[in-house]
Chains A and B, each alone.
Chain A
Amino acid sequence: MPRIRRELCNKEICACSIFGAMNRDAERFTGAGVMKAIANMHVRGNGLGGGFAAYGIYPEYKDYYAFHLMFTGHSIADRISAKKELEAFLALKFDVVYDEEIPHGDEATVSDPPLVWRYFVLPKKQGEESLLSDGDYIVGKIMWVNTRIENAYVFSSGKNMGCFKGMGYPEEIGEYFMLDKLYRAYTWTVHGRFPTNTQAWWGGAHPFSLLDTTIVHNGEVSSYGTNRWYLEMYGYACTLQTDTEVIAYAADLLMRRQKLPIEIVAKILAPPIWDAIDRMNEKEKKLFTTLRMVYAPLLMNGPFAIIIGQTGRMIGLTDRIRLRPITAATRGEMFYLSSEEASIRLISPELDRVWTPNGGEPVIGELNSMRKV
C-alpha cells in the first residue's frame, strides 16, 4: 500500500450569528431586511466572514443550474488562469447558456475580493455518465473542480438560487454584492462569522451549499473527523476546511440521494438519547434504534444551530442538548429564524408567535404551494 500522508490542513471553527426569513406565499423581497437583521447581531461576529443564500432570484434562468464560482489566488494572473481552466472543463461537461461576472459595488469595505463569476448551465452527460441522475453528475463534477483545479471553487450550484459570501461583516458582503438592490428572493438565509483561525478565506464563509441545499451554521462539529470519513466513502471531498461542509454533504446524502424526509434526517443528525428511546413504544423504539445504529457516523456532536435552505423550504435545527440558541417566529406568511429575537423584531416589530424549539427537533417552513392538499 503506498504511503498515505496525513493531511495537515486545519479545520476552522466558528461561532457566529445566523438568520433566516421566508415568505410562504413565495412573494419575493430584497435582501435589505435581512442585512439589517444580521447587522443587529454584529457583535456575534468578528468581520472575518459573512454570507447569504437566496432562493427565487433567477426567474429568467430558473431551469438552469446557476454555478457561482470563486477564483482565488494572490495575483490577477492566477485568477484568470484558474478561470480559463475551469471554463475549459465546463465547456466539456456542461452546456453553458450564459455567464457573467457577479455584479458588485466597489464602495463596499471588503478585503481582497476574489474574482466571482456565475454560469447558467445544463449537464452534458456522455457515455456511462448518462446513467447518472443530474444531481449525482453535477455533485461529481463539483468535487472534481474543488479538488483538482487550483484556485477555483464552486460555491453555489442550485437552480434559481444562489449564495453570496466572503470575508467581511455580512452586511458588508451584502453591500458588496448589492443584495438590497439587485435581487428579490422568497427565502433569505444569512450568516455572520467569528472564526478562531485568523487565516480565514473567502471560501470558508458560510453558507455551504451543494445543489440547492444551503447551510448556515453556528457552533462547532466535534464529530467532524468521524462525519468526514463516512462522507468521503460516498464520494464527497471535504476541501473547504470548515466543519460546516459535512452538514451540507450529510443533508445532500440523506435528503437527495437517499430521499429521506427531513423529520427523519433531523433524527439522524440530532437523535434522541438512549434513555428516551428505551422508553418509547415498540415501533418508535425500533425505528430510532435502527437509525442510530446505521447512521451513527452522521450524528452531529457538539453545539450547533443550523438553518437549512432548500427550494421551497427553510428548516431550523439545533443539537440534541440545545447548546446553541435559535428563536423561531411567524408573522402572517413570514417565517423567521434567528440566533437572537431582537433581530427579528427589528424588521418585524409585531409577531404572531415567538418560540424556542427543543433541541433536536426541526422547525420546518414550507411554501404554501408545496404543501400537499
Chain B
Amino acid sequence: MKSFVFPEFQITRDEEKCGQCRGCERQCSFGTHTYDPVADRLISDEYKCAGCQRCVIFCPKNAIVVRPTPSFYRPNASWSREKLDDLKKQAETGGVILTGCGCDKPFRIYWDHIVLNAAQVTNPSIDPLREPMELRTFLGAKPDLMDISVKEGDVEIKTKLSPNLMVQTPILFSAMSYGAISYNAFRSLATAACKSGTYFNTGEGGLPREMREEFGRCAIVQVASGRFGIDAEYLNCAQAVEIKVGQGAKPGIGGHLPGEKVSLAVAETRMIPAGTDAISPAPHHDIYSIEDLSMLIYALKEATNYEKPISVKIAAVHNFAAIASGIVRAGADIIAIDGLRGGTGAAPKVIRDNVGIPTELAISSLDRSLRSEGIRNRCSIIAAGGIRCSSDVIKAIALGADAVYIGSAALIAMGCTLCQKCYTGKCNWGICTQDPRLSGRLNVEIASERLSNLISAWSHEISEMLGGMGINALESLRGNRDHLRGVGLYEWELDVLGIKGAGE
C-alpha cells in the first residue's frame, strides 16, 4: 500500500562544506544517509529520519541541518499535521501508534505558572557560598510520637524507627529498566547515583548480578507486574524495594519489551528466554484490591527482614489521592507519583498523551489529603513526571513532595534529544538500544560524569534559591506553600495547588 504520509524531518546538506567523510552514514542506525560512490556524495532518505540530531552534532564540518518538516496541509486548528498523519498511518497498518518519551502536548505546565519568594528586610536571605545549606533528607515513614528517656544527661531513644533512605540531595534517578535502556546507560546511572549520594531505580528489568555488590548500596529495586529478575538476593542487596503499580506515561496498561530488545544479557537478568517479548501485564495479577497490595507490601518487608523501606509507585490519575491514602494505610513507606508528563520507552501514543493528570496538581492534592487525614508522616512522597530544571524541583518540594525522580532529564544529560523513537531499539545515542554497536557509543565514565554534573549543578541552584528564601535546610521548605505564588492561573487551580495568586 502506498504511504500517504509526509516525512517528519527535512535534511539539508551543505555540499560545499561536506567532505564526504561518511561519518553521518556510520552514525545513523536508521539508514538515513548512504554514500553514492558514483556521484561521490551522501544521499539522505528523509522518510527514515528520526530527527535525533546525532549526525548533525557529529558532522565534523557542521554541514547538516535536520529540521521538522513544516506542515504542507492547509492550516487547520483542529486537524493538526500530527493528527492527519497518524490517522493515515493507522489506515495503512490497522495498528496502534507507538511512541516513546513523555507527553509532548500543550497541556498547561504549572511549573511555569508558579513563582518563588525571596526574603528581604524582615528575614535575611542566606548566602549558600558562606553558610551551610542543607539538602539532606530522609525518605520513609516517621513515627508520630517519640518515646525518649533522659537519665542524668544520657539520652535513650525507645521508639523503634522504620527504615529510611538517606539522600544528600532530593533528586533521584527514576525507574528505567535494563532492557528499555542499554547496559552502559544503566550502569552510568548507577555510577552517578553512588557518586552523588543519591539513588537510582532499576525499573522492572532487574539488577544484573555483577552490579549488585558495587551498586546495591544506591539501588532501589522494582517489583513490577512481570516480576522480572526478582529473587531474595536481588531484594536484599538494594536499599529499598518499589512496587510498581503504574507509571505516568501509560496508566492502566502494561509494558511490552519487543523481542528485538531482549538480548542474551537482558534475558539472563530478567530470567526469560532470549528473543521473546517481555510482557508486563497491566495489573499485578495478585493485586486485585487494596488488601492484596497490603499483603504484597508485607511479604516484601518479610523478605527483606523489615530493613528496607517499601515504596509504591502509582500514576497520577483522577482520584488517586484516595488510593494513595489507602496505600499508606496498607503499609507503604514511600509513595512515588508519576504524572502526565512521565516518560517511557514504548507506549501507545494515545495513552501517553491523554491519560493521567499533571504532576504539580497531583503532588499538592496528595500532600493535602494525607495531611487532612493526619497520616502525612507515615510516608514520604517522591514526585515524578516532567521535572526539567532545579526550579521545578524546588516547586515540587514546596508543594509537598519530599524528593523528585528524574527520568527524561537524566537521559537528556547523557545525550538524548527526545526524538521519541525509543521503541525501535535503534537509539543512535546508545541509550535506548540493545545493539552493542550503538550502546558502545555511550562511554560509562563520561556519561556518569555528565549525570553527576547535572545533580551537582541543580543542587547548587537549589541551595541558591533556598538561601534566597531565608531557609537553610530543605526540611523547612517541604509543604511550605507560603513561598509560592501563582501567575496566570484560574482560581480552581490555585485552590488545588493550595497557593495564593501573586500579589495576594
Cβ of A233 and Cβ of B374 under 8 Å apart?
A: yes
Say if the beta carbon of A212 comes within 8 Å of chain B: no
Among candidates A3, A13, A222, A260, residue contacting B492 with C-beta atoms closer than 8 Å: A3
If A229-B376, A261-B150 touch, whether A222 touches B495 (CB-CB below 8 Å) is: no
**B-contact bits for A251-287, CB 8 A (1 contact / 0 none):** 0000001101101100000000111000000000011
Cβ of B122 and Cβ of A15 under 8 Å apart?
A: yes
Q: Shortest distance in angstroms between A265's beta carbon and chain B's nearest beta carbon?
A: 10
Could you tell me the distance between the alpha carbons of A284 and B480 in the complex, rounded to whole angstroms?
Answer: 29
If A11-B482, A225-B483 touch, whether A301 touches B473 (CB-CB below 8 Å) is: yes
Among candidates A6, A290, A302, residue contacting B498 with C-beta atoms closer than 8 Å: A6
Residues of the B chain whose Cβ atoms lie less than 8 Å from the Cβ of A196: 121-122
Q: How many residues of chain A get a CB closer than 8 Å to chain B's CBs?
A: 49
Among candidates B137, B157, B368, B473, residue contacting A290 with C-beta atoms closer than 8 Å: B157
Cβ of B470 and Cβ of A222 under 8 Å apart?
A: yes
Residue in chain A with minimal CB distance to B122: A13
If A301-B472, A302-B123 touch, whether A294 touches B371 (CB-CB below 8 Å) is: no
Among candidates A8, A13, A223, residue contacting B500 with C-beta atoms closer than 8 Å: A8
Say if the beta carbon of B145 comes within 8 Å of chain A: yes
If A287-B155, A290-B157 touch, whether A229 touches B475 (CB-CB below 8 Å) is: no
Cβ of B471 and Cβ of A225 under 8 Å apart?
A: no
Q: Which of B3-11, B128-136, B434-442 contacts A (4 or more CB under 8 A)?
A: B128-136
Size bin of chain B's contact surface? 35 or more
Cβ of A299 and Cβ of B476 under 8 Å apart?
A: yes
Could you tell me the distance between the alpha carbons of A59 and B134 in the complex, rounded to whole angstroms?
Answer: 48
Residues of the B chain whose Cβ atoms lie less than 8 Å from the Cβ of A3: 492, 495
**A-contact bits for B142-178, CB 8 A (1 contact / 0 none):** 1101101010000101000100100000000000000
Say if the beta carbon of A220 comes within 8 Å of chain B: yes
Cβ of A226 and Cβ of B479 under 8 Å apart?
A: yes
CB interface residues, B 360-401, toward A, < 8 Å: 368-369, 371-372, 374, 376-377
Could you tell me the distance between the alpha carbons of A302 and B504 in the complex, rounded to whole angstroms?
Answer: 22
Residues of the B chain whose Cβ atoms lie less than 8 Å from the Cβ of A11: 482
Residues of the A chain whose Cβ atoms lie less than 8 Å from the Cβ of B403: none
Could you tell me the distance between the alpha carbons of A20 and B470 in the complex, rounded to whole angstroms?
Answer: 27
Residues of the A chain whose Cβ atoms lie less than 8 Å from the Cβ of B131: 321
Cβ of B122 and Cβ of A226 under 8 Å apart?
A: no
CB interface residues, A 287-319, toward B, < 8 Å: 287, 290-297, 299-303
Among candidates A1, A223, A261, residue contacting B471 with C-beta atoms closer than 8 Å: A223
If A4-B495, A226-B478, A229-B376 touch, whether A287 touches B157 (CB-CB below 8 Å) is: yes
Residues of the A chain whose Cβ atoms lie less than 8 Å from the Cβ of B495: 3-6
Could you tell me the distance between the alpha carbons of A290 and B158 in the complex, rounded to whole angstroms?
Answer: 12
Q: Shortest distance in angstroms between B467's beta carbon and chain A's nearest beta carbon?
A: 11
Residues of the B chain whose Cβ atoms lie less than 8 Å from the Cβ of A5: 495
Among candidates B138, B376, B470, B475, residue contacting A233 with C-beta atoms closer than 8 Å: B376
Could you tell me the distance between the alpha carbons of A322 and B472 in the complex, rounded to whole angstroms?
Answer: 13
Say if the beta carbon of B321 comes within 8 Å of chain A: yes
CB interface residues, A 190-239, toward B, < 8 Å: 196, 219-220, 222-226, 229-230, 232-234
Cβ of B145 and Cβ of A226 under 8 Å apart?
A: no
Residue in chain A with minimal CB distance to B376: A233
Q: Shortest distance in angstroms between B490's beta carbon and chain A's nearest beta carbon?
A: 13
Q: Shortest distance in angstroms between B305's beta carbon and chain A's nearest beta carbon?
A: 20
Say if the beta carbon of B50 comes within 8 Å of chain A: no
Cβ of A294 and Cβ of B146 under 8 Å apart?
A: yes
Residue with the greatest number of chain A CB neighbours at <10 A, chosen from B126, B164, B475? B475
Residue with the greatest number of chain B CB neighbours at <10 A, chosen from A223, A260, A323? A223
Among candidates A14, A224, A300, residue contacting B480 with C-beta atoms closer than 8 Å: A224
Q: Shortest distance in angstroms between A323's beta carbon and chain B's nearest beta carbon?
A: 6
Q: Shortest distance in angstroms between A314's beta carbon and chain B's nearest beta carbon?
A: 20
Residues of the A chain whose Cβ atoms lie less than 8 Å from the Cβ of B321: 1
Residues of the B chain whose Cβ atoms lie less than 8 Å from the Cβ of A286: 157
Q: Shortest distance in angstroms between B129's beta carbon and chain A's nearest beta carbon?
A: 14
Cβ of B157 and Cβ of A223 under 8 Å apart?
A: no
Between A and B, 28 residue pairs with Cβ closer than 8 Å are: A3-B495, A8-B500, A8-B504, A13-B123, A223-B480, A225-B480, A225-B483, A226-B475, A226-B476, A226-B480, A229-B371, A229-B479, A230-B377, A233-B376, A290-B146, A290-B157, A291-B146, A293-B142, A293-B161, A294-B146, A296-B137, A301-B470, A301-B471, A301-B472, A301-B473, A302-B476, A321-B132, A321-B472
Q: Which residues of A approach B to under 8 Å, CB–CB?
A: 1, 3-6, 8, 11, 13-15, 196, 219-220, 222-226, 229-230, 232-234, 257-258, 260-261, 263-264, 273-275, 286-287, 290-297, 299-303, 321, 323
Known: A8-B504, A264-B148, A321-B472. 18 other contacts (CB 8 A): A4-B495, A14-B122, A222-B123, A222-B471, A223-B475, A224-B482, A229-B376, A258-B146, A273-B134, A275-B132, A290-B146, A293-B138, A293-B142, A296-B142, A300-B476, A301-B472, A302-B470, A302-B471
